[in-house]
Amino acid sequence: MADTMGHSATANRNTSVVISFCLLAIAPQIFEFIWSFGTMFGWGAGRGPAAVVIGHGTALLAGGPGALLGAVGGDTKKASSDVLLALIYSYPIFAVAILTIFMTIRSAQDYVGGIALLALALFALWASSDLQGMRGFSFGAGTAPRMFGGLLVALGAGIALTGLLTDGPAMAHYAWRGPLFVMASIVFFALAIRPLGVVVTAFASFMIAAMGTHETRWVEAVIVGACLTLGCALLFPYVLGLPMPMFPRFLVQ
Partner 1 sequence: MFDIFHNLGLGFGVVFQISWWSPWWLYGASLPISINILMCLIGALVGTLVGVLPGIGTVATVAMLLPITFGLPPIGALIMLAGIYYGAQYGGSTTSILVNIPGEATSVVTAIDGHQMAKQGRAGPALAIAAIGSFFAGCVATVLIAVLGAPLTKLALAFGPAEYFSLMVLGLIFAVVLAKGSVLKAIAMIVFGLMLSMVGSDIETGASRMAFNIPELADGLGFATVAMGVFGFAEIIRNLDAGAEMNRDLVQQKITGLMPTRKDLIDSAPAILRGTVLGSILGILPGGGAVIASFASYTLEKKIAKNPSRFGRGAIEGVAAPESANNAAAQTSFIPLLTLGIPPNAVMALMVGAMTIHGIVPGPQVMQKQPELVWGMIASMWIGNLMLIIINLPLVGIWVRLLRVPYRLMFPSIVIFCAIGIYSVNNAPVDVILAGVFGLVGYWLIKHDFEPAPLLLGMVLGPLMEENLRRALLISRGDWSVFLTRPLSAVLLAIAAFLLVLTVLPALRAKRDEVFTESEN
Partner 2 sequence: MTFIRALTGACAAALTSLCTFIAPAEAQTYPTRSITMVVPFAAGGPTDVVARIVTAHMAQTLGQSIIIENVVGAGGTTATTRAARAANDGYTLITGHMGTHAASVPLYPKLAYHPEKDFEPIALLAGTPILILARKDFPPKDLKEFVAYVKANSEKVNAAHAGVGSVSHVSCELLHSILDVKPVGVPFNGTGPAMNALVAGQVDYMCDQIVNAVPQINAGTIKAYAIATPERNPSLPNVPTTAEAGLPKFQAQAWNAMFAPKGTSAAIVASLNAAASKALDDETVRKRLLELGSVIPGPAERTPEALASLVKNEIAKWTPVLKPAT
> In the complex, which residues of this chain contact partner 2 (CB under 8 A)?
138, 238-241, 243
- Binding to partner 1 by residue 133, rule CB under 8 A? no
- Binding to partner 1 by residue 151, rule CB under 8 A? yes
CB of 238 to partner 2, least distance (A): 5
Helix/strand/coil for 228: helix
- Binding to partner 1 by residue 120, rule CB under 8 A? yes
Each residue 7-36 as x (binds partner 1 by CB under 8 A) or -, in order, gives ------------------------------
For residue 23, the partner it binds in partner 2, partner 1, none, with Cβ less than 5 to 8 A by kind, is none
Is residue 45 within 8 Å of residue 140, measured between CB atoms?
no
Is residue 131 within 8 Å of residue 145, measured between CB atoms?
yes
49-67 CB burial, b ≥16 within 10 A, e <16: beebeebbeebbeebbebb
For residue 196, the partner it binds in partner 1, partner 2, none, with Cβ less than 5 to 8 A by kind, is none
Neighbours of 90 (CB within 10 A): 25
- Binding to partner 1 by residue 158, rule CB under 8 A? yes
CB of 83 to partner 1, least distance (A): 18
Residue (227 or 242) nearer to partner 2, CB: 242
For residue 1, the partner it binds in partner 1, partner 2, none, with Cβ less than 5 to 8 A by kind, is none
Name the nearest CA neighbour of 79 among 118, 129, 135, 36: 129
Residue (19 or 242) nearer to partner 2, CB: 242
Burial (CB count <10 Å: 0-12, 13-18, 19+), residue 205: buried
Distance separating alpha carbons of residues 32 and 49, to the nearest angstrom: 8
CB of 8 to partner 1, least distance (A): 25
State which of positions 167-186 bind partner 1 (CB under 8 A).
168-169, 171-175, 177-179, 182-183, 185-186
CB of 237 to partner 2, least distance (A): 9
Query: Rounded to 10 degrees, what is the CA torsion of 215, 218, 223, 227?
Result: 60
CB of 53 to partner 1, least distance (A): 20
Distance separating alpha carbons of residues 182 and 199, to the nearest angstrom: 19
Applying CB under 8 A, the span of 8-16, 60-68, 94-102, 225-233 interacting with partner 1 comes to 225-233
Distance separating alpha carbons of residues 239 and 243, to the nearest angstrom: 11
For residue 166, the partner it binds in partner 1, partner 2, none, with Cβ less than 5 to 8 A by kind, is partner 1
Distance separating alpha carbons of residues 137 and 155, to the nearest angstrom: 27
Distance separating alpha carbons of residues 106 and 7, to the nearest angstrom: 11
For residue 186, the partner it binds in partner 2, partner 1, none, with Cβ less than 5 to 8 A by kind, is partner 1
